[in-house]
Structure 1
Amino acid sequence: MALQVYGIKNCNTVKKALTWLDDNNISYTFHDYKKEPATLEQLTGWEKKVSWESLVNKKGTTWRKLSAEEQAEVVDAATANHVLLKNNSMIKRPLIESPKGIILGFDEEEYQDKLT
Structure 2
Amino acid sequence: MLFLEYPKCSTCRKARKWLDEHGVSYLDRPIHEEKPTVEELRAWWKQSGLPLRRFFNTSGQLYRSLGLKEKLEGMSEEEQLQLLASDGMLVKRPLVIGEDFVLVGFKPEEWQNVLG
Q: TM-score, normalised by structure 1?
A: 0.86
Percent identity reads: 27
1:24-79 CA-to-partner distances (Å, cap 9, x unmatched) read 111111111222121111011112123311111222222011146x9515533211
Deviates more, 1:4-13 or 1:72-81: 72-81
Match of 2:83 in 1: 83
Q: Which has the higher helix share?
A: 2
Deviation at 1:81, TM superposition (A): 1.4
Q: Is the 8 A contact 2:56 2:91 kept in 1?
A: yes
Aligned partners of 1:87, 1:71: CA distance in 2, in Å?
19
Question: CA 1:26/1:65 → structure 2, altered by over 3 Å: closer, same or farther?
Answer: same
Q: After TM superposition, list the pairs within 5 Å mapping 1:1-116 onto structure 2.
A: 3-50=1-48, 51-67=51-67, 71-72=70-71, 75-116=75-116
Deviates more, 1:76-85 or 1:88-97: 76-85
Q: Is the 8 A contact 2:6 2:32 kept in 1?
A: yes
Question: CA 1:73/1:21 → structure 2, altered by over 3 Å: closer, same or farther?
Answer: closer
Runs of 4 or more consecutive aligned structure 1 residues displaced over 2 Å after TM superposition:
73-76
Unaligned runs of at least 5 residues, structure 2: none
- Output the aligned Cα RMSD: 1.8
Partner amino acid, structure 1, of 2:30? D
Q: TM-score, normalised by structure 2?
A: 0.86
